[in-house]
Structure 1
């Protein structure tokens, strides 16, 4: 992913938040037959360090898992907020007219080796973890154990688990950092006025974080 320094993100907490905000990431792999991609929910676990593990599952009829089993390179793509930015929102448009449209967004790319899980116990653990995450907001959460045991066992035969040990992380937050403060303020105001309160708050939060001073240097580090 092309990531100019102004847009690069390395804060683990922010990266984790972007991944949580992405409801349906994409798992991409490259094999002898070409590229394969599947949209699927994925859970991130912090272990093993330094980048953790991604866990999900694929339909057994999906040929991508055979490619992954054979060791094909894999990437998981998480995209959170994204929105169009009109040149009319910039103060610079009124001053010089030298502006063009753009698109702001947050994204994380994770790469690593994938293990295919067919063991029914481990596979059930994966399905349970994913289900529990999604059911948590429900007033009466459904649990895997609520269904008949023979039914769940039959359903598990139709899927395979995927576990990616993450080897690299690239995170990008393109939120108009390359624009003057007046232009960024114009984007925030326009988003708020158009009902995009969440995106406006996202940019406002980034502005506030950029304005906060860093930690004081320790006595040993002062020159």
Structure 2
């Protein structure tokens, strides 16, 4: 993806943590007719037996995109974080409006999981998202027949991490006065994403008054 130099995020641990924290992604593949196909789905960052990080997820078997996966076919996974409109009126000088955002894009090759691997993955995924539930459930709490029936309707895959690019467009190219003004204005919008963006900006540039 196109990322101006000032907004490039290149620290690998930071990028990997972003993927963990923003796991609801967009999976993009190219159809046999050359037309892109995309699905929104949770994709997990997991380590393989050699300690190498990979992406793992699953699609509904009713979703024809799964037929475009496997056999080391290429794919693109897009992970998005907080984002918000930045008004021209928030500067002390004439400036065009813009949009601040956080994003990571990963390209790699896909292979399909076996039934055993799929079951292990689903256990991990359910446990992760049930961890903060008042009454957590698990795959083990369901009957074997029920789990098998549900698994017959999904196709799980893994994806290598061949390239990883991160964009952190956070008004880094503004002076402290305008940077602080943007944070203050974001907090006044009453918008949840704008508040998250303000928090990220304040954390990334801690020298200013939060």
- The alpha-carbon deviation at position 107 of structure 1 amounts to 0.2
Cα deviation 1:21-43 (Å, max 9, x = unaligned): 32520110113222111111011
Kept in 1, the 8 Å contact 2:83–2:100? The answer is yes
Residue of structure 2 aligned with 1:200, choices 198, 201, 204: 198
Give the conservation status (yes or no) of the 8 Å contact 1:51–1:168.
no
Number of paired residues?
204
Q: C-alpha separation between the residues in 1 aligned to 2:32 and 2:89?
A: 47
Q: 1:144-196 CA deviation, whole Å, 9 max, x = no partner?
A: 11111101011111111110011110001000112222211110111123344
Distance across 2 between alignment mates of 1:20 and 1:54: 10
Residues 105 and 51 of structure 1, relative CA distance in 2, 3 Å threshold: farther
**Taking structure 2 as the reference length, what is the TM-score of the superposition?**
0.89
Runs (4+) off by over 6 Å: 48-51
Residue 6 of structure 2: aligned partner = 6
**1: CA distance between counterparts of 2:39 and 2:101?**
21
Gaps of 5+ in 2: none
Aligned-pair RMSD on alpha carbons? 2.1
Q: Secondary structure at the match of 1:69?
A: coil
Give, in whole Å, the separation in 2 of the partners of 1:48 and 1:146. Answer: 27
Aligned residue in 2 for 1:183 = 178
Q: Distance in 2 between matches of 1:188 and 1:134?
A: 31
Cα deviations by residue, 1:6-57 (Å, 9 ceiling, x for unpaired): 0000123321332233252011011322211111101102457897200110
Structure 1 portions without partners, runs of 5+:
93-97, 211-223
Aligned in 2, Cα 1:49/1:77: closer, same or farther, shift over 3 Å? farther
Secondary structure, in 3 states, of the residue corresponding to 1:208? Answer: coil
What does residue range 137-216 of structure 1 map to in structure 2 within 5 Å?
A: 137-195=132-190, 196-208=194-206
Distance between the aligned counterparts of 2:117 and 2:66, measured in 1? 16
| Helix, strand or coil at the partner of 2:146 | helix
* Bigger CA radius of gyration: 1
Moved more, 65-74 or 132-141: 65-74
Partner residue in 2 for 1:28:
28
Matched, 1:69 2:67: no
